[in-house]
Amino acid sequence: MKTRFLTLKPSGIRIQVVEAGKGRDLLYLHGAGGHMPGDPLIAALATKYRVVAPLLPGYGQSTGEDGLRDMLDVTLHALDVLEALKLKKPIVVGHSMGGMIAAEMAAIAHTEVSKLCLLAPAGLWLDDHPIADIFSKLPYELPGLLFHDAEAGQKLLASGGNMEDPEFLKQFLVMNARRLGMAGKLLFPIPDRGLVQRLHRITAKTLIVWGREDVLIPPLYGDAFKKAISKSKLVRIAKAGHAVGQEKPEAVLQAIRNHF
């Protein structure tokens, strides 16, 4: 995996882009947690595709979060990034919050997104099946919320820092405030910005992937997405939680290869 930077014009926003692999272009949009250290999904996808994974402003070294306030701002920003990357008919893959953004892109610019893959996307809300509030969770609660195998997930999430060290803690809090501060503009307090009214506009060939053990966004949300997007297929993956791509990277890669 290598990192490069993209400067958007005329805003001057600087975007960090992680790239890996060779093959057909695949754009990957991360979830609210950003990329994981040595992200297993990006690594797996890179064995068959040229993966291009920009970081949303507020994440990593990407700047410009203050100018993005709502769903439309973020969707148009993501379309600007897609255009600036000059990708050839990429498969647009988005996980969780990234899936919500990808779905919005495909709904708004349906001529520009023709292959869409949504991994446990956010963006819908079913009253009878509320989605957990990630913003009030403490760090130790996250592995159980994101992974079916919480212990293995904990190891994936570990950033190698000592939370007892005040300097590390401060850095962690700053990073968290930037990332989840940005994510909150799309997901707080309810991760619904009206996507349900726009899903019908999606014309892309769409693959929806859900971990069968997802406790953050329950798997039946997958059915709701499938029902609302005309050319879509839903694949459920066993023994996987919300971070389905990081927990079962090979299975997700296989599903994408089979579908596109």
Partner 1 sequence: MKFTWFHLMPWPHMPDDFRQKHRSVWVDLPSRMYDPELGHIAYHQYLDQLEYAESVGFDGIGVNEHHANAYGLMPSPNIMAATLTRRTSKAALVVLGNSIALYNPPIRVAEEFAMLDVLSGGRLVAGFPVGTSMDTNYAYGTIPALTREKYAEAHDLIRKAWAADEPFAFNGRYTKLRYVNCWPKPIQKPAPPIFIPGGGSVETYDFCIDNTYSYSYLSYSGYLRAKLLMEGYWKRIEERKVDQSPYRAGFAQVICVADTDAEAEKLYGPHVNYFYNRCLHVYPGFADAPGYRTVKTIQTGALSQFTQAAARDYPNMTWKDLLDGRYVVAGSPETVRQQMEELIKTLRVGNVFCLLHLGNMPNDKVRHSTRLFAEKVMPHLRNMWPEWNNHDDRFWMHPMNEPVPLRAAAE
> Across the strands, what pairs with 117?
93, 207
Q: If binding is defined by CB under 8 A, does position 135 make contact with partner 1?
A: yes
Task: List C-alpha distances in Å: 255 to 1, 41, 56, 97, 162.
Answer: 22, 13, 25, 20, 37
59 exposure class (CB count in 10 Å sphere: 0-12, 13-18, 19+): buried
Q: Which two tokens stand for residue 23?
A: 């093959």
Q: If binding is defined by CB under 8 A, does position 163 make contact with partner 1?
A: no
d(CA 115, CA 18): 21
| Residue from 178, 198, 242, 248 in contact with partner 1 (CB under 8 A) | 178
SS3 175: helix
Contact 42, 35 (CB under 8 A): yes
Q: If binding is defined by CB under 8 A, does position 164 make contact with partner 1?
A: no
Q: If binding is defined by CB under 8 A, does position 180 make contact with partner 1?
A: yes
Q: If binding is defined by CB under 8 A, does position 72 make contact with partner 1?
A: no
Q: If binding is defined by CB under 8 A, does position 138 make contact with partner 1?
A: yes
Q: If binding is defined by CB under 8 A, does position 77 make contact with partner 1?
A: no
Nearer to partner 1, 89 or 170 (CB): 170
Contact 93, 102 (CB under 8 A): yes
- Judged by CB under 8 A, the stretch of 83-91, 113-121, 144-152, 167-175 that binds partner 1 is 167-175
Q: If binding is defined by CB under 8 A, does position 227 make contact with partner 1?
A: no
| Residue from 14, 137, 205, 226 in contact with partner 1 (CB under 8 A) | 137
Letters for 22-61 (x = contact with partner 1 by CB under 8 A, - = none) are: ----------------------------------------
Helix/strand number for the chain, H first, E second: 9, 8
Tell me which residues touch partner 1 (CB under 8 A). 65, 69, 135-138, 141, 166, 170, 173-174, 176-185, 188-190
